[in-house]
Amino acid sequence: MKKLISVIHHNNLFIKMFLVMVISIISVSLLITFSTIRMSNNLFMETFSITNTKVLNQIKQQFESFSYSVVVTSMEVENNATIKRMLTEEYVSSVDASTSFYSIKEQMEKLYADRPNEANMIILGENERLFNMKYMNWSVTGDDLINHRITKNAEEHPNQILYQFVSGGEITNGSPMVVATKALTERSSNNIYGYLYIPIRELDLRGFYDDYTSQGNSVMLVNGSGKIISSDDESYIGQDSPELLALAKETEEQRLEYQEANVFGKDQLLLTSALPALDLYIVNLVDQELVINNLVNTKEIALISTVIVLLALVVVFIISRRVTNSISRLVKQISNMAKYDFSKPVEESGGYEARKIAHAFNYMLNELQEHVDVLMKAQRKQRKSELEALQHQINPHFLYNTLTSVKLLVKDGKKEAAFETIDALIPLLQNALGNVDETITVEQEAANIQNYVLINQTRYGDRIKVNSLISPDCLHYHLPKLVIQPFIENAFFHAFTEKKKGFIQILIAQRNDKLVCEVIDTGDGMRLDKIESKGKRQLFSGIGVRNVHERIQLLFGEDYGVEISSELKKGTKVKIILPLLDENAKYITKSKNSTKERLSEGGNF
Amino acid sequence: MEDFRFKKSWLSALVLLTFLVLAACSSDEEGGASEEGEAAEDPDTITAWAWDPNFNIAALETAKESYDGDVELDVIENAQDDIVSKLNTGLSSGTMKGMPNIVLIEDQRAQSFLQSYPEAFFPIDDYINPEDFASYKLAPTSLDDKQYGLPFDTGVTGLFFRTDYLEEAGYTMEDLTDITWEEYIEIGQDVKETTGKDMISLDPNDLGLIRVMIQSAGAWYVDEEGTNVNIEGNEPLRKAFENYKAMMEADFVKANSDWSQFIASFNSGDVATVPSGNWIGASIEAEESQAGDWAVAPIPRLDMEGAVNASNQGGSSFYVLNVPGKEKAAEFLGQTFGENEEFYQDLVNDVGAIGTYTPASDGEAYQTENEFFGGQSLISDFSTWVEDIPSVNYGMHTYSIEDILAAEMQNYLKGKSLDDAFADAQAQAEAQLK
């Protein structure tokens, strides 16, 4: 859990960026996909309704020309005197019958020849005399026909041409048909002398519009009572569908170009055209779902946009990962730097931006380092000159005291001792006046210490004995001047206030590639916080115990310096740690320029 | 710069990938549509056109069952008129595309096709022996000594009559056997007088009975060449017209105007006789209440030299069209209709079709007694008569000439002299057919 949180924390930037990208890419592509589909649907519906309106008009024209030819035929039949005579005449002989049958057929043949379509023509006269132009289409008998409802209807409306639907099976050999009926009436007496039937099989009626239909784009004819009398989908033929009629009427009355409606359980586009003469509505139903699915491949569009989204996501993932990764790495490096090492430059890698930032950061670091170096150099210089001044400042009291001692020795006639003392003072002074950076060999230092000890013993007597133990392999090493002397001085003047006698041991040896000098006294010991000397008068130079440590660190770095340990009543132990310096390394001091050198290897702009 | 190149390659890789995916998406659409358009040289399926599901289509299905060859037969039902018009449009345009391998054509129309499009038909002499078939079938189905049609059913005629009505008028089977049309008319008058029933039902627009009459005397509307109109001076035709008018004047003719009225005329018991092709038997048997009341006598003959008591009405034959698969089609026909006697027995039993393959008439099925017709061995009788049918050349224009003759018949009935009527018809027919 913690791990997860830390992962999230570390990838915070990436997660944020990536989430924003993902959400925007997905929403953009979704919006585009949907609007594309919607737009193409709308466009399609527009054009579809336009073309289908035209198609409906063409179908309508076909029906109108059909109904016109029915009207013309019925008028011609009614006006045909031969037909009328033959239908009404009583036959007395076979010859008469034969003649009249022949003439009626002949007349009908003439009228029928004009008929442009598949319609049949039947004339029924009294005595069930039936003349059928195409008995193959409808082999009906006069007996059946005279009692059929379509004849009764025609009888009730003798002046009207009625279009009546006869469903398959009744008397039509299983093929549904629409029959135009007209009672043939005598003008003067309104007496009905026969019936004209112009049946057209639903199959042939379908030919009027069948070419315009396709799957999902169907046409049906609905008559005034809501019965579907013809359809390219045969299962609808003969069904009663008042809803469809109502929709058709509504569309027609409101002069809508089309109407969207749920018909037969499907969302359909409904176009209609009325045929008032036939009391029919031509209804065109377009199954939206089916047709649109055929036209607009929604699946494909969705697939394409999904693929694009996925690709974009992969690309976004990789790119943002690259960007954020390098930035996170940078951040990590920088935050670690505060903990560990300021001088280490950050790695310049990753994207362009990250590299620029790293570069700028490194540049800044470099500058800062340089600045710090300059500052430190100045500081060191200042300190050095301070120390130098202190070193050069040979305590007049020391000289005064020493010279007083010499004077007393001379006065006492201790010529030898006086000579020795002066002899010791001379190199001591010589040494003190040199450069603060200058080193001397351990041998020389030992001599100096001896001289100093001699002078002090001359003055204060030899109750404090000084032994020096110097490892011979160290004699040729160099060390800075006035490093050991202040501690001996300190031991002389402060370690033996209670104890009046004691020893001061000086040990110089090489240990772990370092030069270790130890000054051990057997004096009173002290509290470490009270090292500072009080009686300035006794000091040889301005260099005190305290600034020895400072000076060593200034010269050689933090690995070196002075360690003091003390125990009350038992004595004090001073350990001076110095590098092993050869003569040719006289002036080497630890430099911090190295950082700067390393930095300048990097960028070059 | 280096990074820029890197990014660019990324971009192009992305674009490439996108295109690949898109291409993969859209490529499903194609394919699958390129399967047609390969009309094999020798298809495994042969198609046949016929028009009557209860008769000739059923016969083809029976043939398919009895055939051992590895051929798939696809029988397509088309109205006869449609077959005629499809053949005419197809063959006249010279393209055989969409044409069947086998087509059934009525004998009286066959010559018009054979003569107009001889190249379109495939001679089947190598697959059948024409002498095995009734001789009258060969003339209409062959051209220039090549046999094109495989004779299928016979239209051999008989005089179907109501035994009860005729008995009432005092006539027996014997009195109706081998009579002339004049005798028939006399009998008809007696029947009308005693029973009040009409003797015959006729459609004034259809001179089928005239054709039956003249073929019994070996004559037709055209001469033996099949090309010249033969009306004027055609003695059998003259006799036939006279007989027709005599029937009308005897007043025992019930007029009908279409097929269903014709069927109704005898199913309702209104007429006593039906002189017709044997195929009408099925329609007569359809009225089960009249079982046992019917019998069949030989068709009456014209009262003249050379006339026989046998004629033909209708009948059709199979033709093989000159399209890929013709050999298979011819083989199929040859091995079924052309030589399989067994198959002809099935044809009689299952379909009721009487073939014109003479060796088959000795088969058992042909001897069956028909209970509806009072135990008469109907098929045996018909196949006997088949052999007597005079052969005539129907020529190409039977129906056009008949239309003219039907009109002249009306004039003749109304009193025009037969000489004038024939002269006018001859002139009109010659003018029309030239």
Check which CATH number belongs to the domain holding B307 and give it: 3.40.190.10
- Amino acid letter at B269? G
The helix/strand/coil state of A334 is helix
Place of tokens 């009228």: A111
Does the pLDDT of residue A593 top 80, yes or no? no
Q: Which of B247, B255, B258 sits opposite A132 (nearest CB)?
A: B258
Does the pLDDT of residue B122 top 80, yes or no? yes
Distance CA A73, CA A69 (A): 6
Alpha carbon distances (Å) from A221 to A225, A226, A259, A281, A465: 11, 9, 17, 6, 140
User: Distance (Å) from the C-alpha of residue A349 to the closest C-alpha of chain B?
Assistant: 12
Q: Which of B252, B253, B261 sits opposite A98 (nearest CB)?
A: B253
Residue B14: which pLDDT band, with cuts at 50, 70 and 90?
low
Task: Please give the CATH number for the structural domain made up of A206-295.
Answer: 3.30.450.20
Does the pLDDT of residue A605 top 60, yes or no? no
Angle of helix A12-79 relative to helix A81-88, nearest 10 degrees, comes to: 70
How confident is the model over A472-499, as a mean pLDDT? 82
Identify whether the C-beta of residue B230 lies closer than 8 Å to the C-beta of residue B219.
Answer: yes
Could you tell me where in chain A the CATH 3.30.450.20 domains are found?
Answer: 80-205, 206-295
Shared domain check, B190 and B93: no
**How many domains does one find in chain B?**
2
Nearest residue of chain B to residue A142 (CA atoms): B261
Helices assigned H by DSSP within A412-484? 415-433, 442-460
Digit-coded pLDDT (tens) for A134-157:
777 777 777 778 888 888 888 888
A94 and B249: CB-CB below 8 Å? yes
Does the pLDDT of residue A249 top 80, yes or no? yes
- CB proximity A132 to B under 8 Å: yes
- Class of the CATH domain delimited by A378-585: alpha beta
Q: Which of A106, A131, A139 sits opposite B259 (nearest CB)?
A: A139
Helices assigned H by DSSP within B27-120? 56-66, 80-92, 107-116
Q: What's the pLDDT at A599?
A: 40
Distance CA B165, CA B293 (A): 9
Q: What's the pLDDT at A598?
A: 39
Identify whether the C-beta of residue A123 lies closer than 8 Å to the C-beta of residue A87.
Answer: yes
Residue ending a domain, choose from B365, B386, B407: B386
Nearest residue of chain A to residue B1 (CA atoms): A352
Does the pLDDT of residue B1 top 50, yes or no? no
Dihedral-angle region of residue A491 (phi above 0 means left; psi in -120 to 50 means alpha; beta otherwise): alpha
Shared domain check, B187 and B246: yes
Angle of helix B418-433 relative to helix B398-413, nearest 10 degrees, comes to: 150
Enumerate residues 6+ apart whose C-beta is below 8 A from A558: none
Q: What's the pLDDT at A434?
A: 67
Element (H, E) at A525: none
B251 and A315: CB-CB below 8 Å? no
How confident is the model over B395-420, as a mean pLDDT? 90
Rg of chain A taking only CA atoms, in angstroms:
64
Nearest residue of chain A to residue B10 (CA atoms): A315
Residue B165: which pLDDT band, with cuts at 50, 70 and 90?
very high
| Cα A364–chain centre separation | 33
- The answer to the question of residue B18 being in a domain is no
Does the pLDDT of residue B210 top 90, yes or no? yes
Nearest residue of chain B to residue A135 (CA atoms): B258
- The answer to the question of residue B33 being in a domain is no
Size of interface A-B (CB pairs under 8 A): 90
Shared domain check, B231 and B120: no
Identify whether the C-beta of residue B26 lies closer than 8 Å to the C-beta of residue A300.
Answer: yes
Q: Which of A93, A94, A300 sits opposite B25 (nearest CB)?
A: A300
- CB proximity A23 to B under 8 Å: no
DSSP letter for each residue of A80-94: -HHHHHHHHSPP-SH
Nearest to B133 by CA among B152, B146, B116: B152
Residue A60: which pLDDT band, with cuts at 50, 70 and 90?
confident
Interface predicted TM-score (ipTM) of this complex, two decimals: 0.74
Percent of chain B with pLDDT over 70: 90
A105 and B17: CB-CB below 8 Å? no
Q: Which two tokens stand for residue A479?
A: 């060390």
The helix/strand/coil state of A224 is coil
Shared domain check, B406 and B282: yes
User: Distance (Å) from the C-alpha of residue A134 to the closest C-alpha of chain B?
Assistant: 9
- To probe the interface with B, which of A94, A106, A146 has the most B CB atoms within 10 Å? A94
Shared domain check, B197 and B283: yes
- CB proximity A99 to B under 8 Å: yes
Q: Which residues of B touch A131 (CB under 8 A)?
A: 257-258
Q: Which of B25, B205, B254 sits opposite A102 (nearest CB)?
A: B205
How confident is the model over A538-554, as a mean pLDDT? 71
Enumerate residues 6+ apart whose C-beta is below 8 A from A91: A97, A100, B255
DSSP letter for each residue of B7-24: HHHHHHHHHHHHHHHHHH
Mean pLDDT (chain A) is 80
Q: Which two tokens stand for residue A146?
A: 């005279």
Shared domain check, B409 and B269: yes
- CB proximity A173 to B under 8 Å: no
- The answer to the question of residue B38 being in a domain is no
Identify whether the C-beta of residue A586 lies closer than 8 Å to the C-beta of residue A435.
Answer: no
Digit-coded pLDDT (tens) for B378-398:
888 888 898 889 988 888 888
Q: Which of A100, A142, A304 sits opposite B25 (nearest CB)?
A: A304
Shared domain check, B349 and B274: no
Question: Which of residues A329 and B422 earns the better pLDDT score?
Answer: B422
Place of tokens 């299928």: B152
List B residues 69-128 in contact with A (Cβ-Cβ < 8 A). Answer: 79, 81
Q: Which of B14, B25, B251 sits opposite A94 (nearest CB)?
A: B251
Mean pLDDT (chain B) is 84
A99 and B410: CB-CB below 8 Å? yes
Q: What's the pLDDT at A591?
A: 42
| Cα A86–chain centre separation | 94
- CB proximity B166 to A under 8 Å: no
Distance CA B106, CA B154 (A): 11
Rg of chain B taking only CA atoms, in angstroms:
29
Shared domain check, B202 and B168: yes
Which domain does B109 fall in, by range? Answer: 45-155+314-386
Q: Which residues of B touch A102 (CB under 8 A)?
A: 204-205, 406, 410
Q: Which residues of A touch B414 (CB under 8 A)?
A: 99
- The answer to the question of residue B24 being in a domain is no
Q: CATH topology for A80-205?
A: Beta-Lactamase (3.30.450)
- The answer to the question of residue B343 being in a domain is yes
Q: Which residues of B touch A105 (CB under 8 A)?
A: 204-205, 257
Q: What's the pLDDT at A173?
A: 67
Q: What's the pLDDT at B9?
A: 55
- CB proximity B202 to A under 8 Å: yes
Q: What's the pLDDT at A596?
A: 38
Shared domain check, B151 and B161: no
| Cα A513–chain centre separation | 59
- The answer to the question of residue B292 being in a domain is yes
- The answer to the question of residue B8 being in a domain is no
Nearest residue of chain A to residue B81 (CA atoms): A136
Shared domain check, B269 and B258: yes
Distance CA A569, CA A171 (A): 146
Q: Which two tokens stand for residue B392?
A: 């005539």
Q: What's the pLDDT at B247?
A: 92
Q: What's the pLDDT at B27?
A: 42
Q: Which residues of A touch B259 (CB under 8 A)?
A: 135, 139
Shared domain check, B303 and B279: yes
A308 and B18: CB-CB below 8 Å? yes
- The answer to the question of residue B58 being in a domain is yes
- CB proximity A300 to B under 8 Å: yes
Dihedral-angle region of residue A219 (phi above 0 means left; psi in -120 to 50 means alpha; beta otherwise): beta
Q: Which of A132, A304, A315 sits opposite B14 (nearest CB)?
A: A315
Could you tell me where in chain A the CATH 3.30.565.10 domains are found?
Answer: 378-585
Lowest mean pLDDT among A57-61, A555-559, B110-114: A555-559
The helix/strand/coil state of A265 is coil
Residue A588: which pLDDT band, with cuts at 50, 70 and 90?
very low
Digit-coded pLDDT (tens) for A115-126:
656 778 888 887
- CB proximity A102 to B under 8 Å: yes
Does the pLDDT of residue B7 top 60, yes or no? no
Shared domain check, B175 and B70: no
How confident is the model over B343-358, as a mean pLDDT? 84
The helix/strand/coil state of B302 is coil
